[in-house]
Amino acid sequence: QVQLVESGGGLVQAGGSLRLSCAASAGTFSGYVMGWFRQAPGKEREFVAAISRSGGITNYADSVKGRFTLSRDNAKKTVSLQMNSLKHEDTAVYYCGANLYGSSGQIELRFYEYWGQGTQVTVSS
């Protein structure tokens, strides 16, 4: 079982950048596909990005493609989401998830077994 802790959220102006990190403890980190999801007030949690176990394959939602970059460091058991050119509509709680059995192409929540507590990202317009 892996435990996940997100950090790096905050308040930023539109056009700015933030870097979110997710640290894993316990479990074999390199055995998990890692993903980021977000949930805005009144909306369902939605897929943002995912990265394969080796880090060689990434998958992004169309809404963030070209602005967000996902990377991982298996030695440090961390995954990072660099968010650039932030928009007001990126405002949400961002969650890190771990997917043990699937692939980075799976964007549904049901494929992710473990979740962090979330970190708030607020983009002022």
Q: Taking the chain (125 residues) in consecutive chunks of 10 residues, what is each chunk's mean pLDDT? A: 95 98 92 97 97 97 98 97 98 97 91 96 96
pLDDT at 41: 93
pLDDT at 50: 98
- One-character DSSP codes across 7-22: E--EEEETT--EEEEE
The owner of tokens 């930023």 is 12
pLDDT at 1: 83
pLDDT at 26: 78
pLDDT at 27: 78
pLDDT at 48: 98
Radius of gyration of the chain (CA): 13
